[in-house]
Amino acid sequence: MMIPAAIEAGFGELGKHGSVINPEFGSAFRLGAVLTDAPFEPTPKRTFGVDEFCLHCRICEEACPPEAIAPEKKMVRGVVKWSVNFDRCIPFFAETSGCAICIAVCPWSRPGVGLNLAAKLARRSERKGGTE
């Protein structure tokens, strides 16, 4: 429930492993929310290259013991996006009292790597003449 809200709020992009990737914090963090009626300006959604990166990276996909991470995007409720097969993921998660291997092996999860990756992907996008 929190992942779509975090993406819409501009916190990050959806990674192949089904979690949010933030350029500063990677994907190794917990989401939380505060309900308020304070008048905040909405933060625009932002992209910094996660989609293109995940398209070519297979690290989380290959590390997933129940093989729950697909190599390509799928149509989910009318939207093409990265999707995890929870019929495979959840039973393994329950049997092992937790997993999160996909998040642990994600290159974005290494401390100090995310901002460098985001900058590198931005430069690559500029050279291609587009925005990713």
Structural domains of the chain, count: 1
Strands (E), 1-127: 13-14, 20-21, 74-76, 79-81
What is the pTM (predicted TM-score) of this model?
Answer: 0.84
**Are the beta carbons of 65 and 26 closer than 8 angstroms?**
no
- Considering the domain boundaries, does residue 35 fall inside one? no
Tell me which residue range forms the domain holding 26. Answer: 2-30+48-128
pLDDT digits (tens, 9 = 90+) for 11-59: 999 999 999 999 989 999 999 988 999 998 888 888 889 999 999 999 9
- Considering the domain boundaries, does residue 74 fall inside one? yes
- Considering the domain boundaries, does residue 114 fall inside one? yes
- Considering the domain boundaries, does residue 42 fall inside one? no
Number of C-alpha atoms within 13 angstroms, CB side, residue 7?
A: 16
Strand partners, 76: 79
Q: Please, which pLDDT band fits residue 101 given cuts at 50, 70 and 90?
A: very high
**Are the beta carbons of 49 and 121 closer than 8 angstroms?**
yes
- Considering the domain boundaries, does residue 68 fall inside one? yes
Q: Read off the amino acid at residue 130.
A: G
Token duo for residue 73:
């995007």
- Considering the domain boundaries, does residue 36 fall inside one? no
